[in-house]
Amino acid sequence: MTLRALAARHGLGFGAALTDSGLTDPRYLALAATQFSSVTPENAMKWDHVERVRHTRTWDPADALARFAARHGQELRGHPLVWHDQLPHWLTEGHFTPGELAALLHTHVTTLTRRYAGAVTAWDVVNEPVEEDGSLCRTLWREALGPDYIAQALTWAHTVDPEARLYLNEFGALDESPKTKGLHDLAASLLDRGIPLHGIGFQCHLLLGQEAPALARTLNRFAELGLEVAVTELSVRMLPPVTPAKLAAQAATYRAVVEECLAVPACTGLTVWGVGDADSWVPQGSRSPYGTPTLYDGAYRPKPAREAVARALAAAPDGGLGTRAGHTAEQR
pTM to 2 decimals? 0.95
pLDDT for 167? 98
**pLDDT score of 151 more than 70:** yes
Catalytic residue flag (residue 176): no
pLDDT at position 285 over 80: no
Give phi and psi for 268, each to the nearest 5: -95, -15
Nearest to 177 by CA among 214, 224, 126, 225: 214
Share of the chain above pLDDT 70, in %: 94
| For residue 331, pLDDT beyond 50 | no
Predicted confidence at residue 319, as pLDDT, reads 55
**pLDDT tops 90 at residue 80:** yes
What is the CB-side half-sphere exposure of residue 226 using CA atoms within 13 A?
13
pLDDT surpasses 70 at 284:
no
Provide the strand spans (E) within the chain. Answer: 13-18, 38-41, 75-78, 120-127, 165-170, 199-207, 228-237, 267-272
Catalytic annotation, pick one of 51, 75, 233, 260 = 233
Q: In this predicted structure, what is the pLDDT of residue 316?
A: 80
Position 332 scores a pLDDT of 27
Handedness of CA 237, 317, 15, 165 (dihedral sign): negative
What's the mean pLDDT when you consider all of the chain?
94
Catalytic hit among 128, 170, 228, 260: 128
Per-residue pLDDT for 324 more than 70? no
Q: 233 catalytic, yes or no?
A: yes
CATH of 3-331, one of 3.90.650.10, 3.30.428.10, 3.20.20.80, 3.20.20.120: 3.20.20.80
